[in-house]
């Protein structure tokens, strides 16, 4: 294969480099990262890091990259790709030639257009974002969190743990409605209210108030709230600018954006690949991006084997998995739950719940709160797509 260049030194970029070596790739391997940090882990940012309980989120020490002969170039962004010359341009003006290029550039937080630029307004994606936000967390301060997705919900929990007042607003009828549906979203709403969060659903942000620094906000229902700080957690957009003009196909923003790729990560250019949050891989139901930690590793494995021309292992593929920690509840999902699935709630006793997701009569996902064992036990059933009647019967429902 010669030389592989991976752009984006986050989880997916790191895992791709690791998996290439594990699969026996012996050629030159370059990993380019815009951030000055060694590849690091993002899940703790909204949890332990903002709460001040953890500072080091590094995934691998510097020696790892030497041992694995990975030429790590940090603090320099890739700015363009010439697919004809097979070269990547970097922000310092240099170019790096490749035989295969892997795009692993992740996401950046979505902004609200037209919102006043004020101090005390935060987003959360990077380590710096987390450290800046952490410096604002103090007991009795009031935070307005805009958006009750995973980041908003986890931050609400972290801020309550720091003794703060939290107002969490969400235009949908419940938190996490677009990922888990309103039934389970309702349980998540109950959890946050029990923990003292002022959760307001069906409400968005209209304007921020303050001069220089934020002092509050006007909400879409006309109410005004006072806040010492604001976090905007309304989703993220894929980082694909470096492919502008390269000819590599990118999905429409309306369709979620991202670099279009087949089921092994190969893009419209046979020498360019995409992996992780930025990648819209082909699934049975079309191209789709997945913004979860485990997916980055699963995709890296499949991509590395395809890139070196090895066969994928026989048997069923990985069952997708993600989790979210809110208060003392670990929410876990196996399979691919969708907001349009029929949800069978088979257990709900306060902070422990278990739900089976049904699509066309088949069990497609299981979502649990505080019930790791019960969730994990369903892995084989989800992989083989058993009829929902079978699992409901087995559960005594
Ligand atoms: P990233 O981790 O974003 O890495 C991309 C990297 O590419 C970045 O370092 C970026 O600086 C770099 N880059 C971008 N453009 C360029 C360029 N032009 N040149 C060079 N480098 C570039 N998932 C879960 O399943 N459970 C959780 O509890 C969970 N918690 C999370 C909490 C937070 C706060 C966040 C932000 C994410 C969380 N996730 C969670 C999601 C998980 O972290 C992501 O799925 C994972 O980080 C994706 O890895 P990635 O490498 O695709 O993207």
Q: Is 123 in the pocket of ligand 1 (CB under 6 A)?
A: no
Q: Which of 32, 43, 58, 294 to mutate to test the pocket of ligand 1 (most atoms within 8 A of CB)?
A: 43
pLDDT tens digits for range 140-154 = 999 999 999 999 999
Looking at ligand 1, which residue's alpha carbon is closest to its atom 48? 277
pLDDT tens digits for range 155-171 = 999 999 999 999 999 99
Task: Please spell the DSSP secondary structure of 309-359, one letter per residue.
Answer: TPPPPSS--PPPEEEEEETTEEEEEEE---TTSEEEEEEEETTEEEEEEEE
Q: Which of 231, 293, 318, 325 to mutate to test the pocket of ligand 1 (most atoms within 8 A of CB)?
A: 293
Q: Is 321 in the pocket of ligand 1 (CB under 6 A)?
A: no
- Ligand 1 center from residue 106 Cα (angstroms): 5
Task: Read off the pLDDT of each residue in 283-287 and give the average, rounded to a whole number.
Answer: 91
- Ligand 1 center from residue 301 Cα (angstroms): 17
Task: Read off the pLDDT of each residue in 8-26 and give the average, rounded to a whole number.
Answer: 98
Is the pLDDT at 226 greater than 70? The verdict is yes
- Ligand 1 center from residue 258 Cα (angstroms): 14
pLDDT score recorded for residue 284: 87
First to last CA, the chain: 54
ipTM value of the model? 0.99
> Cβ(104)–Cβ(239) under 8 Å?
no
- Ligand 1 center from residue 42 Cα (angstroms): 6
Q: Full-prediction pTM beyond 0.90? A: yes
pLDDT tens digits for range 293-314 = 999 999 999 999 999 998 887 7
Q: How far apart are CA 8 and CA 10, in angstroms?
A: 6
Q: Is 243 in the pocket of ligand 1 (CB under 6 A)?
A: no
pLDDT tens digits for range 167-221 = 999 999 999 999 999 999 999 999 999 999 999 999 999 999 999 999 999 999 9
**Beta-ladder partners of 326:** 329
Rounding to the nearest 10 degrees, give the CA dihedral for residues 207, 210, 216, 218: -20
pLDDT score recorded for residue 397: 80
Token pair of 335, please? Answer: 């399979």
Please identify, by atom number, the ligand 1 atom nearest to the C-alpha of residue 13. Answer: 51
Is the pLDDT at 37 greater than 90? The verdict is yes
Domains of the chain plus CATH, in order, are 3-108+236-307 (3.50.50.60), 111-232 (3.50.50.60), 328-394 (3.30.390.30)
Is the pLDDT at 316 greater than 70? The verdict is no
pLDDT score recorded for residue 396: 84
Looking at ligand 1, which residue's alpha carbon is closest to its atom 52? 276
Q: Note the helical H segments in the chain.
A: 11-22, 48-51, 62-67, 127-134, 150-161, 177-194, 293-307, 372-376, 379-384, 388-394
**H or E element: which one contains 101?**
strand 100-103
Region for residue 24 given its phi and psi (left: phi exceeds 0; alpha: psi -120 to 50; beta: otherwise): left
pLDDT score recorded for residue 313: 79
Task: Read off the pLDDT of each residue in 63-90 and give the average, rounded to a whole number.
Answer: 98
Please identify, by atom number, the ligand 1 atom nearest to the C-alpha of residue 124. Answer: 34
């Amino acid at each position: 294969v010669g030389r592989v260049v991976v752009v984006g030194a986050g989880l997916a970029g790191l895992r791709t480099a690791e998996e290439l070596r594990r699969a026996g790739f012996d050629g030159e391997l370059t990993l380019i990262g815009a951030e000055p940090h060694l590849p690091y882990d993002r899940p703790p940012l909204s949890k332990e890091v903002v709460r001040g309980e953890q500072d080091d989120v590094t995934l691998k020490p510097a020696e790892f990259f030497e041992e694995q002969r990975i030429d790590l170039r940090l603090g320099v962004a890739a700015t363009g790709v010439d697919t004809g010359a097979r070269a990547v341009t970097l922000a310092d003006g240099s170019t790096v030639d490749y035989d295969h290029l892997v795009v692993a550039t992740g996401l950046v937080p979505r902004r609200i257009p037209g919102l006043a630029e004020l101090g005390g307004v935060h987003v959360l994606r990077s380590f710096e974002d987390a450290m800046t936000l952490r410096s604002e967390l103090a007991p009795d301060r009031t935070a307005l969190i805009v958006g009750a997705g995973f980041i908003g919900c986890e931050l609400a929990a972290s801020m309550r743990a720091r003794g703060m007042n939290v107002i969490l607003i969400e235009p949908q009828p419940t938190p996490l409605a677009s990922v888990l549906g309103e039934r389970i979203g309702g349980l998540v709403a109950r959890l946050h209210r029990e923990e003292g969060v002022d959760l307001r659903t069906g409400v968005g942000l209209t304007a921020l108030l303050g001069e220089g620094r934020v002092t509050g906000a006007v909400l879409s229902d006309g109410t005004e709230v006072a806040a010492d700080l604001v976090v905007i957690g309304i989703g993220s957009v894929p980082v694909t600018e470096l492919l502008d003009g390269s000819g590599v196909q990118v999905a429409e923003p309306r369709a979620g954006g991202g670099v279009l790729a087949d089921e092994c990560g190969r893009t419209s250019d046979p020498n360019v690949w995409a992996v992780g949050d930025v990648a819209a891989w082909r699934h049975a139901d079309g191209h789709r991006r997945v913004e979860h930690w485990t997916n980055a590793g699963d995709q890296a494995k499949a991509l590395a084997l395809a890139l070196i021309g090895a066969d994928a292992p026989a048997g069923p593929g990985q069952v997708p998995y993600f989790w979210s920690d809110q208060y003392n509840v670990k929410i876990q999902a196996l399979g691919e739950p969708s907001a349009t699935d029929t949800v069978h709630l088979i257990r709900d006793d306060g902070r422990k719940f278990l739900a089976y997701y049904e699509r066309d009569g088949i069990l497609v996902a299981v979502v649990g709160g505080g019930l790791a064992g019960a969730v994990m036990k369903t892995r084989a059933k989800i992989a083989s797509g058993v009829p929902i009647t079978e699992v409901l019967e087995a559960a005594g429902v």
